[in-house]
């Protein structure tokens, strides 16, 4: 740990009651002794309990079919999510007109995110209609088990097959120790060769075996050579998935205009691409403090922030960069869907 990290020491205990997940960055979260005595398990159990209570309150806003699918699988998949005319108009718009964009590289994969902040979609009626449609966002709140405002982008994943530069997203993993929601509305057909999302159905369910597996890993996670595990995003292999009693991972090969909303406490990955691929989707994510008793009061809904999340995030990244803390996302020129990456 860097000496400067000790400046944050008073925060370590406070962060136990937050969504903080890094075993390496927080010596309390990473303590083998505390985790042997149940710290990580207690956080998983309490977060799961609170999510269940909040989810019950959010159920009134989603369809019974969605509730049943989520309960069984941990994700909801809906074909033809948008009216076809609106979907075509959105795609035409994104292919012809650029949006403010940021890119990051992980291995041989470049991910681009383009802003859907309200000022950026001003005068673009199809994108505005999409953002005004509450169905996706209500479903995300239910799956995440929290209220609040998802962060929404147009995302393009440009992947080159290159085993010498592995993409950490290709390994089955859970994002963190509690329910969070990610959503993909696919703008093109996704075939088996297009790096589809892989999800282990039912792996959002915290079985005794799963809890035991997390408990075991939590005692050594801080020193794990895999930085993703040390950061709290546990990796798992297929044999262990089967041993824990979960079903076979399912590849989401779907036609365009399919929506997938998944709880990413469940195990998931991006299938490695066997050939160069370029896949675009409207992508949204929602993650909040998992211990909150309420569904309201989200920072993202405050005046000056609501509808401007990408702008505010870019401003924060810019500020951090002035203090030498570089995030993974790089500013790039405004891009259309079909434009090549800049990094
Ligand atoms: Fe993930």
Residue range 44-85, pLDDT digits in tens: 999 999 999 999 999 999 999 999 999 999 999 999 999 999
- For 99-156, the pLDDT digits (tens) are 999 999 888 889 999 999 999 999 999 999 999 999 999 999 999 999 998 999 999 9
Expressed in angstroms and rounded, the spacing between residue 269 Cα and the centre of ligand 1 is 6
Q: What is the CA radius of gyration of the chain?
A: 20
Give residue 162's pLDDT band: very low, low, confident or very high (50, 70, 90): confident
252 found inside a domain: yes
Q: What angle do CA 246, 248, 254 make, to 5 degrees?
A: 125
Expressed in angstroms and rounded, the spacing between residue 298 Cα and the centre of ligand 1 is 23
343 found inside a domain: no
Expressed in angstroms and rounded, the spacing between residue 38 Cα and the centre of ligand 1 is 25
The number of folded domains in the chain is 1
197 found inside a domain: yes
Expressed in angstroms and rounded, the spacing between residue 316 Cα and the centre of ligand 1 is 23
What's the first-to-final CA gap in the chain, in angstroms? 30
- Residue 270 is predicted with a pLDDT of 86
Structure tokens at 4: 């400067």
Query: HSE-up of 115 (CA within 13 Å, CB side)?
Result: 23
Q: Which domain holds residue 307?
A: 3-287+299-335
Residue reference for tokens 């440009």: 158
Expressed in angstroms and rounded, the spacing between residue 267 Cα and the centre of ligand 1 is 8
- For 210-234, the pLDDT digits (tens) are 999 999 999 999 999 999 999 999 9
Distance CA 162, CA 330 (A): 22
Expressed in angstroms and rounded, the spacing between residue 123 Cα and the centre of ligand 1 is 33
- CB within 8 Å of 230: residues ≥ 6 apart: 22, 23, 24, 30, 221, 222, 223, 224
Max mean pLDDT among 168-177, 187-196, 248-257 falls in: 248-257
Closest Cα partner for 261 from 281, 233, 284? 284
341 found inside a domain: no
Rounded average pLDDT over 294-310: 83
292 found inside a domain: no
DSSP 246: P
Give the domain CATH number at 134.
2.60.120.620
- Residue 126 is predicted with a pLDDT of 97
Contact between residue 280 and residue 337 where contact means Cβ atoms under 8 Å apart: yes
Distance CA 31, CA 171 (A): 25
154 found inside a domain: yes
171 phi/psi in degrees, rounded to 5:
-95, 135
293 found inside a domain: no
Expressed in angstroms and rounded, the spacing between residue 145 Cα and the centre of ligand 1 is 17
């Amino acid at each position: 740990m860097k000496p400067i990290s000790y400046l944050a020491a008073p925060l370590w205990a406070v962060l136990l009651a937050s969504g903080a997940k890094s075993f390496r960055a927080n010596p309390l979260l990473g303590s083998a002794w505390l985790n042997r005595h149940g710290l990580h398990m207690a956080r998983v159990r309490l977060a799961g309990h609170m999510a269940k209570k909040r989810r019950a309150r959010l159920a009134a806003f989603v369809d019974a079919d969605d509730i049943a699918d989520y309960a069984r699988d941990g994700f909801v998949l809906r074909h033809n999510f948008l009216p076809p005319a609106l979907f075509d108009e959105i795609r035409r718009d994104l292919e012809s007109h650029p949006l403010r964009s940021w890119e990051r590289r992980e291995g041989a994969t470049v991910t681009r995110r383009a802003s859907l902040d309200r000022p950026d979609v001003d005068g673009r009626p199809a994108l505005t209609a999409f953002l005004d449609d509450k169905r996706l966002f209500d479903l995300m709140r239910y799956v995440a088990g929290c209220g609040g405002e998802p962060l929404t982008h147009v995302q393009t994943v440009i992947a080159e097959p290159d085993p010498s530069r592995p993409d950490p997203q290709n390994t089955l993993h859970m994002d963190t120790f509690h329910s969070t929601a990610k959503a993909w509305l696919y703008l093109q057909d996704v075939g088996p060769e297009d790096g589809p999302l892989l999800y282990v159905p039912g792996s959002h369910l915290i079985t005794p075996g799963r809890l035991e597996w997390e408990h075991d890993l939590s005692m050594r996670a801080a020193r794990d050579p895999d930085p993703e595990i040390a950061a709290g995003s546990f990796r798992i292999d297929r044999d262990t998935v089967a041993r824990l009693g979960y079903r076979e991972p399912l590849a989401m090969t779907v036609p365009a205009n399919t929506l997938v909303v998944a709880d990413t406490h469940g195990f998931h990955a991006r299938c490695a691409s066997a050939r160069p691929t370029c896949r675009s989707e409207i992508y949204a994510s929602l993650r909040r403090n998992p211990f909150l008793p309420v569904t309201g009061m989200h920072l993202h809904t405050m005046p000056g922030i609501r509808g401007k999340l990408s702008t505010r995030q870019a401003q924060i990244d810019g500020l951090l960069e002035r203090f030498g803390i570089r995030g993974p996302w790089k500013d790039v020129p405004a891009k259309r869907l079909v434009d090549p990456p800049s990094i």
